[in-house]
Structure 1
Amino acid sequence: MYAAGSTADKSATFAQDLCIVTEDTPGQDDKVTAEAAAVFDLTDKTVLFAKNPFERLYPASITKTMTALVALKYGNLSDEITVTKDAVITESGASLCGIKPGDKLTLEQLLYGLMLPSGNDAGAAIAVHIAGGVEPFARMMNDEALRIGATGTHFMNPHGLNNENHYTTAYDLYLIFNEAMKYPEFRKIVGTEKYSTTYHNEAGKPISVTWKDTNWYLTGERKMPEGLTALGGKTGTTQAAGSCLIMGSSDSSKREYITVVLKAPNHVGLYDNMTNILSKIVE
Structure 2
Amino acid sequence: MNKRLLSLLITILILSNSIISFGENLGLSGESYVLIDEISGRILIEKNPHQKMAMASTTKIMTALVAIENCNLDEKVVIEKDSTNIEGSSIYLEEGEILSLKDLLYGLILRSGNDSAVAIAKHVGKTEKKFIDLMNNKAKEIGALNTNFTNPHGLSEKGHYSTAYDLALITREALKYKAFREIFMTKSYDANRVKNNYFINKNKTLWEYEGGDGGKTGYTMEAGRCLVSSAKRNEMRLIAVSLNAYDWFNDNYKLLDYGFENFKPYIIYDKNQFMGNINIEDGEDYVNLVVENELIYPLTAEESSKIKLFFPLDEDIYPPIRKGDKIGVVETYLDGVLIKKENLIANNYVRKTNLIDKLMKSIRNLDNN
Counterpart-to-counterpart distance in 1, 2:97 and 2:90: 14
**Counterpart amino acid of residue 173 in structure 1:** L
Correspondence 1:113-124 to 2 at 5 A: 113-124=107-118
Which protein has the larger Cα radius of gyration, Structure 1 or Structure 2? 2
What residue number does 1:215 align with? 203
Structure with more contact order per residue of length (Cα contacts < 8 Å, sep ≥ 6): 1
- Measured after TM superposition, the shift of residue 85 of structure 1 is 1.3
- Measured after TM superposition, the shift of residue 90 of structure 1 is 4.1
**Counterpart amino acid of residue 278 in structure 1:** L
Deviations 1:237-268 (A, max 9, x none): 111111111122111x1211111111112xxx
Do the aligned residues in 1 keep the contact of 2:238 with 2:256 (CA within 8 Å)?
no
Show structure 1 runs of 5+ residues with no match.
Answer: 1-25, 200-205
Deviations 1:130-175 (A, max 9, x none): 1122222111100110111111000001000001200001111111
- Measured after TM superposition, the shift of residue 32 of structure 1 is 1.4
Counterpart-to-counterpart distance in 2, 1:96 and 1:275: 27
Counterpart-to-counterpart distance in 1, 2:41 and 2:57: 26
More helix by share: 1
CA RMSD of aligned residues (A): 1.6
Do the aligned residues in 2 keep the contact of 1:196 with 1:208 (CA within 8 Å)?
no
Counterpart-to-counterpart distance in 2, 1:44 and 1:153: 21
SS state at 1:135 partner: helix
Counterpart-to-counterpart distance in 1, 2:105 and 2:260: 32
Counterpart-to-counterpart distance in 2, 1:139 and 1:43: 27
Aligned pair 1:66/2:54, yes or no? no
Do the aligned residues in 1 keep the contact of 2:59 with 2:154 (CA within 8 Å)?
yes
Counterpart-to-counterpart distance in 1, 2:154 and 2:78: 22
Quick one: which of 129, 153, 163 aligns to 1:169?
A: 163
SS state at 1:281 partner: helix
Aligned pair 1:153/2:147, yes or no? yes
Quick one: which of 17, 29, 36 aligns to 1:33?
A: 29
- Measured after TM superposition, the shift of residue 208 of structure 1 is 6.0
Do the aligned residues in 1 keep the contact of 2:85 with 2:92 (CA within 8 Å)?
no
Quick one: which of 215, 219, 224 aligns to 1:237?
A: 219
What residue number does 1:50 align with? 46
Quick one: which of 244, 248, 255 aligns to 1:263?
A: 244
SS state at 2:192 partner: strand
Do the aligned residues in 2 keep the contact of 1:27 with 1:49 (CA within 8 Å)?
no
SS state at 1:115 partner: helix
Distance 1:27 1:62, change over 3 A: farther
SS state at 1:66 partner: helix
Counterpart-to-counterpart distance in 2, 1:136 and 1:45: 29
**Counterpart amino acid of residue 188 in structure 1:** E
Distance 1:104 1:44, change over 3 A: closer
TM-score (ref. length: structure 1): 0.81
Deviations 1:155-214 (A, max 9, x none): 001000001200001111111001100110100001000001223xxxxxx446100000
Correspondence 1:89-168 to 2 at 5 A: 89-91=85-87, 94-168=88-162
What residue number does 2:76 align with? 80
More strand by share: 2
Distance 1:143 1:43, change over 3 A: closer
Counterpart-to-counterpart distance in 2, 1:45 and 1:161: 28
Do the aligned residues in 2 keep the contact of 1:95 with 1:118 (CA within 8 Å)?
yes
TM-score (ref. length: structure 2): 0.63
Distance 1:90 1:70, change over 3 A: closer
What residue number does 2:314 align with? none
What residue number does 1:280 align with? 258
Distance 1:165 1:27, change over 3 A: farther
